[in-house]
Amino acid sequence: MPTEHDVGPEDMLKAGRMRLLTDLRRPVLLVRSASGTYYAVHPLCPHQGVNLSGGRLSGHFLPSEVGEYVYEDTAEVVRCPRHGYEFDVRTGRSCFLSDLRIKSFPTRVVSGRVMVEL
């Protein structure tokens, strides 16, 4: 039965930052996007089990015309520090493979506290 966990105050992360939480019932990668929204995902990359918390939170390059680079700077994509796999923290889905994903957990801010449902 999922339960909601209070993981800290709303200002615990600056926008565009992420933090590995290890004191919950399971490890969670907590992310705050550029817009200030919190998300929580499973921290291990499904490719080779590398911890995503050592990677970068960034925007990503949208599908574009040949020779064009279109960058969307939302800080909603976590990139694996080893092989560069990219995951959208809003959904946990891979940015390039429809059948690859990390688990995402419902997250919200209630009365100034960040709540993650595990």
- We find the least distance from the C-beta atom of residue 93 to other proteins, in angstroms, to be 19
Q: How far apart are CA 104 and CA 41, in angstroms?
A: 4
79 contributes a contact to other proteins by CB under 8 A: yes
Contact range with other proteins by CB under 8 A, out of 6-14, 29-37, 45-53, 101-109 = 45-53
Q: 95 φ, ψ to 5°?
A: -75, -10
Residue number, 49 or 112, with CB nearest to other proteins: 49
Closest to 52 (Cα-Cα) out of 20, 97, 22: 20
Secondary structure E strands in the chain: 4-9, 17-21, 28-32, 38-41, 56-62, 70-79, 86-88, 104-105, 107-110, 113-117
48 contributes a contact to other proteins by CB under 8 A: yes
- We find the least distance from the C-beta atom of residue 35 to other proteins, in angstroms, to be 25
Residue number, 47 or 113, with CB nearest to other proteins: 47
Residues near other proteins (CB under 8 A): 22, 27, 44, 47-51, 79, 81-84
